[in-house]
Amino acid sequence: MDRVTPGRRRFLGFAAAAIVAGTTFPAAAARRLMRPRAVALHNLHTGEALNTVYWADGRYLPDAVQRIEWLLRDHRTDETHPVDPQLLDLLVDLQSRLRTHAPFEVLSGYRSPQTNAVLAALSDGVAQNSLHLDGKAVDLRVPGRGLRYVRAAAMSLRGGGVGYYPHSDFVHVDTGRIRYW
């Protein structure tokens, strides 16, 4: 018995640790996953600002998402478009990666085909098939965070495309293919 007991004790200790790990780690991860998600946005063209929980208890909140879509509308035509929920989640992750609570300053969210065509004709930096047309892209900057830092943080998330526009002082993020420019 003397030879068995220490081993058995070790085994019991290990089993207890496994049970503790098995019960607490997934619970903590689940709590993290289930934490309400909020996004803070400031549209520099319209001056409108919004800080809202858009996801809670396992679902996107239609009223909040609608208000976000209005803030991200084509400010030239006042047209809205469904926003890709993944884009909102990407912004939440980006904000957390940047360790800030500052609202995103939005230079461009949704663009109607008409607006995009006009902008594409005026600038080389605007794509004909821009993901802004699909509600899957935002051009932004973040108060208190350098543009290079914002770009690096966005790239590290590997959530889609990241474009760097230092002359216009913004970073483009989208939920399309992972690509950088």
Footprint of Zn ion (CB under 5 A): 137, 139, 172
Cβ 116 to Zn ion, closest distance in Å? 10
Q: Is the CB of 65 or the CB of 87 nearer to Zn ion?
A: 87
Q: Which is nearer to Zn ion, 73 or 172 (CB)?
A: 172
Q: What is the nearest approach in angstroms of Zn ion to the Cβ of residue 138?
A: 7
Give the DSSP H or E segment for 49.
Answer: strand 49-56
Complete DSSP assignment for 105-127: EEEE----HHHHHHHHHH-TTS-
Closest approach of Cβ 16 to Zn ion, in Å? Answer: 53
Cα(150)–Cα(99) distance, integer angstroms? 11
Instruction: Residue 85: count other Cβ atoms within 10 Å of its Cβ.
Output: 16
| CA proximity to 161, closest of 124, 122, 134, 121 | 134
Q: How many helices (H) and strands (E) does the chain have?
A: 5, 8
- Which two three-digit tokens encode residue 52? 């809202």
- Closer residue to Zn ion, CB minimum distance, 64 or 112: 112
Task: Compute the least distance from the CB of residue 142 to Zn ion, in Å.
Answer: 15
Interhelix angle for 85-97 vs 62-71, to 10°? 80
Nearer to Zn ion, 64 or 75 (CB): 75
Nearer to Zn ion, 38 or 127 (CB): 127
From 104, 48, 51, select the one nearest 78 (Cα to Cα): 48
Which position's Cβ is nearest Zn ion? 172
Closest CB 106 distance from Zn ion, rounded Å: 10
